[in-house]
Amino acid sequence: MSSQANETSDASLQQIIDDLRARLADAEEILQAIALHKVDAFVVSKADIEQVYTLRGADHAYQVILETMNEGAATIGADSIIYYCNPAFSALLQRPVEQLLGTSLIQFVHAEDLPLYTALIEQGLAERSRGEVMLWNAGGRAVPVLLSCSSLKLDDLQSLCLVATDLTEQKRQAEIVAAEQFARDALEQRVHERTAELIKTNLRLEREIEERKQAEIALTEVRQRLSQSQETERLLLARELHDGPLQEVIGMAFDLLLLAQTLEDQEQVAKVTAISEAVQKTARHLRLMAQTLRPPVLAHLGLAAAVRAHIKQIQDIKEKPVLTLVCSEENWSMPEETSLALLRIVQQAIQNALQHADAERIEIRLSFDETWLHLEIEDDGRGFTKPYNRVKFARDGHLGVVGMAERAEAIRGQFDVLSKPGQGTCIRITLPRSVQQQETT
């Protein structure tokens, strides 16, 4: 009997112990839930009466807001001990809530921001405060946080309610904006500098262009004066040639004819007659030279007539090449300076063809329209390889071509040469008609 009583007593004792352990576990679970703010109230049974105890300040709606808000929220004491924090605050510091409760927030504040943090806490205990500090998270990264502090009374215990806003993304966006602004400022500065350089370069180029224009104007004036001087010298030389050597040669030819008439020996007559013909040919050459130096037809009858007269003088001396003039208009008034320059170009082109081209045909084409005068001198001679610029023309010995180009430019004309070996040569001059009419008026 006593052994059975002992066994019953041990079993009852064990049952009591198990019940106590279960109740202790339930109590610990309840306390843990209360500490983590997972319950708003609990029920206590007394003498078959159940009584509900609501936790002070436990408002379910606000509790949900705190637990689900994006900003970190915490309640700390005046000594910065953490009484409560929500999941967002825990995520901000990358530490579980259980590790944060009961610890000091100061240990997570960046050393350089401790004075500012202390000032925020002191001001927050008195009223409200707001400021930016750096907090260390568990990963060792400093997180920029905007702390909003306000005073809170818990059972006459002075404490603070904190709202922590993570500024990492804002800082990153601000850095991006700052970098973009810096890049824009740098680009604008570079554009400004480059624009200033371009303006300076353009001004320098404009000055150079203006200087070059002035130089070209001066050069054109020098060429015109030189041409006028040459024409004056040609006029004087033509007069001296006509009044001096030409008259003497003509007189010699006349005397030889008279001498031939007085001779009876036919052999002597033949010799004197041959000499007379040679002298007459020389006279014709001298007359051609004098008229070439200063053609009298040009001033009285115009360019076309002067060209036609020059062609006839050459054909009187040479049978080949055959020279022809094709003219669309005979009576077109132009300044004597212009007509003389064009005549000189025709004379030079014909002279070049006679000396170098070995041509069978030379054709001069003179045409007019409402806007332009066109002059072309074309031969079917041997032609040549056209140099790439005027300097090369001169170096290759084509000085006559250079002279024609300068004469054309002096009267504001456009000059061009078309030539290939074996395909002849064509000299082209295009002259604005309106300019020449203005000069005439």
What are 25-78's pLDDT values in tens digits?
766 666 566 555 555 555 555 555 544 444 544 456 667 777 888 889 999 988
When pLDDT is cut at 50, 70 and 90, the band that residue 269 belongs to is confident
Residue 331 confidence (pLDDT)? 63
State yes or no: pLDDT of 389 exceeds 50.
yes
Residue 6: predicted pLDDT: 58
Please write the tens of the pLDDT for every residue from 192-234.
999 999 999 999 999 999 998 888 788 777 777 777 777 677 6
Considering the domain delimited by 305-441, tell me its CATH architecture. 2-Layer Sandwich (3.30)
Residue 441 has pLDDT above 50, yes or no: no
Q: Please report the pLDDT score of residue 111 as a whole number.
A: 92
For residues 291 and 415, the model is more confident at 415
Percentage of residues in the chain with pLDDT exceeding 90?
Answer: 24
> Quick check: 324 and 363 in contact, CB under 8 A?
yes
Q: Distance (Å, rounded) from C-alpha 309 to C-alpha 292? A: 10
Calpha distance 386→374 (Å, rounded): 21
Residue pair 275/255 in contact (Cβ under 8 Å)? The answer is no
Alpha-carbon distances of 321 from 354, 362, 375, 378, rounded to whole Å: 8, 7, 20, 12
- What percent of the chain has pLDDT above 70? 81
Mean pLDDT value across residues 346-373: 88
Q: What is the pLDDT of residue 361?
A: 93
Q: Give the mean pLDDT of 335-352.
A: 87
Cα separations in angstroms, 226 against 223, 233, 251, 342: 5, 10, 36, 16
- Calpha distance 348→342 (Å, rounded): 10
pLDDT value of position 246:
74
Integer-rounded Cα Rg, in Å, for the chain is 59
pLDDT in tens, 298-307: 767 888 888 8
Give 399's pLDDT tier (boundaries 50, 70, 90): confident
Q: Is this structure's pTM higher than 0.85?
A: no
pLDDT of residue 53: 47
Structural contact between residues 412 and 435, judged by C-beta atoms closer than 8 angstroms: yes
Give the number of other Cβ atoms within 10 Å of residue 236's Cβ: 12
Average pLDDT of the chain, as a whole number:
81
Residue by residue, what is the 3-state secondary structure of the chain? CHHHHHHHHHHHHHHHHHHHHHHHHHHHHHHHHHHCCCCCEEEEEECCEEEEEECCCCCHHHHHHHHHCCCEEEEEECCCEEEEECHHHHHHHCCCHHHHCCCEHHHHECHHHHHHHHHHHHHHHHCEEEEEEEEECCCCCEEEEEEEEEEEEECCEEEEEEEEEECHHHHHHHHHHHHHHHHHHHHHHHHHHHHHHHHHHHHHHHHHHHHHHHHHHHHHHHHHHHHHHHHHHHHHHHHHHHHHHHHHHHHHHHHHHHHHHHCCCHHHHHHHHHHHHHHHHHHHHHHHHHHHHCCHHHHHHCHHHHHHHHHHHHHHHCCCCEEEEEECCCCCCCCHHHHHHHHHHHHHHHHHHHHHHCCCEEEEEEEECCCEEEEEEEECCCCCCCCCCHHHHHHCCCHHHHHHHHHHHHCCCEEEEEECCCCCEEEEEEEEHHHHHHHHC
Range ranked top by mean pLDDT from 33-37, 194-198, 274-278, 381-385: 194-198
Beta bridge partners of 50: 45
Q: One-letter amino acid identity for 439?
A: E
User: Which pLDDT belongs to residue 2?
Assistant: 53
CA–CA separation, 270 and 260 (whole Å): 8
> Which of 48-57, 254-263, 270-279, 349-358 is modeled with the greatest confidence?
349-358
pLDDT in tens, 87-137: 999 999 999 989 999 899 999 999 999 999 999 999 988 888 999 999 999
pLDDT at 338 over 70: yes
- In the prediction, which pLDDT does 37 show? 55
Q: Which CATH architecture has domain 69-166?
A: 2-Layer Sandwich (3.30)
Alpha carbon distance 315, 322 (integer Å): 8
